[in-house]
C-alpha cells in the first residue's frame, strides 16, 4: 500500500470524432509528463468529443484505443483512465476504462446518461458502480452527469478517491465547481474532476475548471480555465485517515439500497 498517490490529469481540447488525431495528441501530452506518476486521467469521450453519432465512432474492447491505452499504461507504469464509445452486444456505451500497467482492464458504464443531449437515446445506461483497488487506494470513477446524483456517488464502501471525467459545458460550470467540492466534503474523500476545454461541433463551449479537492473541500490544485494543461496532484493517505478519525462523519451516514 502506498501512502501517496500521484495523479496527473490532462485538461485538453478534443478533435471532433477523430480518434486517431486525439490519440496522437494525448500521446504527446503523456510524453511531456516529466515525473513518475501512478495514474493519468483523460477526459470523457477523449477520442471523439461528446458525440451522439455512436455508429460512426464506436470501438470494441479489442479496438485501437483500448490497445493504445494498454501500451501507454505499460510504457509509463501508470494506470490510464478515460471514457470512450464502446459497442458491445448490439448496444453502445459511454464506457470509462481503468487500464493498469499490467494490461488488466476494469470498466464502468455511465449510469446517468444525459437526457438533455439525448444521450439516453443512443447509449445504454450502466447499472454497476466500479471500485478500483489500486496500489492500496480505493478509487471510484464516474462520468460527467453522474456528478449531479449524490446517492449514486455516496461513499458507502470507504473509498479514498472519487473521480469524474467530463465534457461539462461552460454555461453550467458553477454547478461543476460547487458539486465537486460538495462530493469531496460529504464523502470525506479526495474528489478529482477533469473537464475538457474548447468548442465541439455542436457549438458547445467548454472551459475546463478541472480540480482536485481534499476531504475538507479545499482545492489542492490551481484552477486554470480555458487553458490546456497537465496538472499533478499528490494525494495523502494520512490526510484522509486523520480527518475521518477526528470527525467521524461517515459513521453517521444513512443506510440505503438502490433499486433499479
Q: Is 110 a catalytic site residue?
A: yes
Q: Which of 193, 159, 155, 206 is nearest to 41 (CA)?
A: 193
Distance CA 12, CA 228 (A): 5
Q: Which residues, other chains included, contact 152 with Cβ-Cβ below 8 Å and sequence gap of 6+?
A: 111, 112, 129, 142, 146, 258
Residue 64 counted as domain residue: yes
Its domain, for residue 188, covers: 4-251
Contact, 39 vs 78, CB < 8 A?
yes
Q: Which residues, other chains included, contact 241 with Cβ-Cβ below 8 Å and sequence gap of 6+?
A: none
CATH of the domain at 24: 3.60.110.10
Residue 257 counted as domain residue: no
Catalytic residue among 17, 29, 44, 100, which? 44
Residue 258 counted as domain residue: no
Reported pTM: 0.97
Q: Is 44 a catalytic site residue?
A: yes
Residue 157 counted as domain residue: yes
pLDDT truncated to tens, each residue of the chain (260 aa)? 799 999 999 999 999 999 999 999 999 999 999 999 999 999 999 999 999 999 999 999 999 999 999 999 999 999 999 999 999 999 999 999 999 999 999 999 999 999 999 999 999 999 999 999 999 999 999 999 999 999 999 999 999 999 999 999 999 999 999 999 999 999 999 999 999 999 999 999 999 999 999 999 999 999 999 999 999 999 999 999 999 999 999 999 998 888 76
Residue 119 counted as domain residue: yes
Buried b (16+ CB within 10 A) or exposed e, 74-99: eebebbbbbbbbbbeeeebbbbbbbb
Distance CA 206, CA 198 (A): 5
Residue 187 counted as domain residue: yes
Distance CA 136, CA 153 (A): 20
Q: Is 91 a catalytic site residue?
A: no
Domain count, the chain: 1
Distance CA 123, CA 139 (A): 24
Catalytic residue among 144, 189, 191, 207, which? 144
Distance CA 136, CA 116 (A): 38
Distance CA 225, CA 170 (A): 10
Distance CA 155, CA 161 (A): 10
Residue 37 counted as domain residue: yes
Catalytic residue among 110, 129, 170, 181, which? 110
Residue 56 counted as domain residue: yes
At residue 157, the pLDDT reads 95
Distance CA 117, CA 93 (A): 15
At residue 260, the pLDDT reads 67
Amino acid at each position: 500500500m502506498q501512502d501517496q498517490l500521484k495523479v496527473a490529469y490532462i485538461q485538453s481540447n478534443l478533435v471532433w470524432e477523430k480518434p486517431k488525431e486525439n490519440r496522437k495528441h494525448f500521446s504527446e501530452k503523456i510524453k511531456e509528463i516529466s515525473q513518475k506518476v501512478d495514474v493519468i486521467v483523460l477526459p470523457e469521450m477523449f477520442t471523439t468529443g461528446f458525440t451522439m453519432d455512436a455508429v460512426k465512432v464506436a470501438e470494441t474492447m479489442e479496438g485501437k484505443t483500448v490497445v493504445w491505452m494498454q501500451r501507454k499504461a505499460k510504457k509509463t507504469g501508470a494506470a490510464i483512465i478515460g471514457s470512450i464509445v464502446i459497442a458491445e452486444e448490439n448496444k453502445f456505451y459511454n464506457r470509462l476504462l481503468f487500464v493498469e500497467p499490467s494490461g488488466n482492464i476494469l470498466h464502468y458504464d455511465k449510469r446517468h446518461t444525459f437526457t438533455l443531449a439525448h444521450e439516453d437515446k443512443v447509449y445504454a445506461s450502466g447499472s454497476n458502480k466500479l471500485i478500483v483497488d489500486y496500489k492500496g487506494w480505493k478509487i471510484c470513477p464516474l462520468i460527467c452527469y453522474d456528478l449531479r446524483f449524490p446517492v449514486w456517488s455516496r461513499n458507502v464502501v470507504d473509498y479514498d478517491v472519487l473521480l469524474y471525467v467530463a465534457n461539462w459545458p461552460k454555461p453550467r460550470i458553477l454547478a461543476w465547481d460547487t458539486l465537486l467540492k460538495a462530493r469531496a466534503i460529504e464523502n470525506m474523500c479526495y474528489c478529482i474532476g477533469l473537464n475538457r476545454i474548447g468548442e465541439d461541433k455542436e457549438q458547445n463551449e467548454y472551459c475546463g475548471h478541472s480540480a482536485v479537492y481534499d476531504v475538507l473541500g479545499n482545492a489542492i490544485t490551481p484552477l486554470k480555465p480555458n487553458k490546456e494543461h497537465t496538472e499533478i496532484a499528490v494525494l495523502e493517505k494520512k490526510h484522509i485517515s486523520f480527518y475521518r478519525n477526528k470527525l467521524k462523519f461517515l459513521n453517521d451516514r444513512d443506510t440505503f439500497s438502490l433499486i433499479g
